[in-house]
A = this chain, B = another copy of it.
Amino acid sequence: MTFPAVPLLTPTLRKLERRAPLDDDDRRAFLDLPVRYQAVDPNIYLVREGDRPDRSCLLISGFAIRHKMTETGERQVLSFHVAGDFCDLEGALLNVADHNLQTLTHCELAFIPRSAVRDLILSHPRIGMAMWIDTLIDSSIFREWVVNVGRRDGRARIAHLLCEFARRMEVAGLADAAGYELPLTQEQIADATGLTAVHVNRVLKTLTSEGLIRRTRRVVSIPNWAGLRRAAGFNETYLHLDQVAGHPGVQPGFVIAPAMPPHGGAPSF
């Protein structure tokens, strides 16, 4: 099934415009991309590790995750994606997929042929640069996840995941005063934080009893943002929100992380 692409791609275009200045020709070229629109059920693989991709994809609505398995069969979630994310640009530029991409909820997707993305990048380098910046921000988030699973204890890891989710949902316009829906099972949270589902359950109970979060089924709200931020050691610099479209403003109850403290110690260049 094919739908008019323009309204579907417009939010993503607005996001790209925030990264690099585009002219009318750039905008037209982007909106003229040959996209195939498709609605997809929850828990469906869009890309599998080892695939040789012939397309790229963009998430129009819903939630998706990237993940990877070890040889011993343990799963690690690598990132989650929300509406508007260009969640598989790798598909256009890398020859073999190094991880899986799977829907979490019902999703609407736009598939774009690999060759069309490459042609666009070469013919309209400003758009290419904007999309590149998108993947660099993803990269920054992966780095923070390395820190999260490498150097924080269970409580801080989960608090950090919740903080990141809250901020990203907010920026995507998907969070309100009541909180946000966390489309993850406790097992998926475990796979994202390098813990077990049992331990996640215990930590969520602790965070709730400490008054840092409130939960009813899958909806999470954060009655004590400052406290959760402190528990997580959350500093949102890594989200590069100055280069992300949406609602960059501060919501009531949310506090933007202060600037980094001055450096000390090791010599600088």
Residues of A bordering B, CB below 8 Å:
40, 43-46, 48-50, 66, 68, 70-72, 74-76, 78, 89-90, 93-96, 98-99, 102-103, 118, 121-123, 125-126, 128-129, 132-133, 135-140, 142-147, 149-152, 193-194, 233, 235, 237-238, 240, 242-243, 259-260, 263, 266-269
**Contacting pair B44 A136 (CB below 8 A):** no
Taken together as a complex, chains A and B put the C-alpha atoms of A102 and B266 apart, in Å, by 10
- In the complex, which of the residues B48, B95, B240 contacts A268, with contact meaning CB atoms closer than 8 Å? B48
Q: How many copies does the complex hold?
A: 2
- In the complex, which of the residues B74, B95, B98, B240 contacts A98, with contact meaning CB atoms closer than 8 Å? B240
Q: How far is the CB of A53 from chain B (nearest CB, A)?
A: 12
**Contacting pair A150 B76 (CB below 8 A):** yes
- In the complex, which of the residues B94, B146, B242 contacts A149, with contact meaning CB atoms closer than 8 Å? B146
**Contacting pair B269 A44 (CB below 8 A):** yes
Which residues of B sit under 8 angstroms from A90, Cβ to Cβ? 136, 139-140
Taken together as a complex, chains A and B put the C-alpha atoms of A122 and B123 apart, in Å, by 10
- 9 A-B interface contacts by CB (under 8 A): A44-B267, A45-B263, A50-B259, A78-B147, A121-B129, A128-B132, A132-B135, A135-B136, A150-B194
